[in-house]
Amino acid sequence: MAPSAITATETEAAAPPQPLKVARLFGPYKELAPSKYSKEVEEGKTGLKAAKYANYLPTWNPEQKYPPLQPFEHYEHGKDADTSYPELLPEGAAVTHLTPTIGTEIRGVQLSSLSNAGKDQLARFVAERKVVAFRDQDLADLPIAKALEFGGYFGRHHIHPTSGSPEGHPEIHLVHRGEGDKSAETFFESRTSSVAWHSDVSYEQQPPGTTFLYILDKPETGGDTLFVNAVEAYDRLSPLFQERLHGLKATHSGVEQAQASDARGSIRRREPVINAHPIVRTHPATGEKALFVNPQFTRDIVGLKKEESDAILKFLYDHLAYGADFQARVKWEEGTVVVWDNRVTQHSALLDWKSGQRRHLARITPQAEQPFQTPYQS
């Protein structure tokens, strides 16, 4: 054997072992929501910008405990709408369609002033266009009780089991990332994307229908919301695949969301539930069929083996996520209220701004009917 050319070696001191970073795992659920903030910062006592709507700052009250939700009879007001939309789209209103199949922006209409007939038209128009951004609205400036009164026309208010809510108003679901909050940096240490497609609380027996999200504070740029048209996603499938999906149900679980809340020391207002819903659901007003599975809450297809279920669900998730030609991106402006139909869309917030600026929104989430499907028609 030839002699080694190395005649001397230098030994470096071994680096001390680094602690292993283990991501918290809650199944497929992607946890992004903060459960605390600095009250002094949000009140503007530290030199940072104060929250514009202090009455909407989140609270997590451990004393709020509720029994399991009971079934109720939902009335779909969109079925009563005049589809010429005389009150919702009066002469002079500026209407801009964001894409051919999903998304509309409307200026010149005040939602809080709509009559019941106008609200019927709103429910139907949103079901048709899937998501609508109304600009220059006063909903955030109304007393919270008045905002809830408006939203209550569309269904029973959902009280979220874990999210923050304004003091005394658990029916309001808050999306809040405080001024100076850069906790997203920790999230991106173990994840490559903040995109988390979902339909809100789809694990409930009667998930939401017409849903309202209104801006309170926003970063200068970033924090947009993506929406996907689940009707168009269904329509793009081959007739053979559409037919095969009919009759199948998938389970939707709130367990992982509750576990994530537990892990960060937060609240459970109700115990989590698991419900099975049709993979293809029918909208009661339009009759359209939509895919109703999402990676945040859907877990498996009833009656299939795990590998079979996983393969079909992954295809459907990817189909929805990659469908840029049936998606819309909503940019937030002050005074914006975004209204969408959770039965025929999915959405994802984007955590893409690095300025530490506040993002603060309020959601009113009326529940709708238990998902159902109508027979397959080619």
Q: Catalytic annotation on 319?
A: no
Tell me which of 120, 200, 217, 300 is the catalytic residue: 200
How far apart CA 130 and CA 339 sit, in angstroms, is: 8
Beta bridge partners of 225: 330, 349
Rounded to whole angstroms, the Cα distance separating 298 from 294 reads: 5
Could you give phi then psi for residue 355, rounded to 5 degrees?
-80, -15
Name, in order, each residue with C-beta under 8 angstroms of 136's C-beta and a sequence gap of 6 or more.
Answer: 107, 108, 335
Question: Which residue among 157, 198, 270, 359 is the active-site one?
Answer: 198
Contacts of 304 (CB under 8 A, 6+ apart): 248, 312
DSSP letters along 227-249, please? Answer: EEEHHHHHHTS-HHHHHHHTT-E
CA-wise closest residue to 253 among 304, 297, 197, 313: 297
Residue 347 annotated to the active site: yes
- Respond yes or no: is residue 198 known to be catalytic: yes
Annotated active-site residue in 129, 347, 359, 360: 347
The pairing of beta strand 131-134 with beta strand 104-107: parallel
Q: From the candidates 124, 157, 169, 363, give the one annotated as an active-site residue.
A: 363
State yes or no: is 138 an active-site residue: no
Gap between the Cα atoms of 212 and 242, Å rounded: 30
Just list the catalytic residues.
198, 200, 347, 363
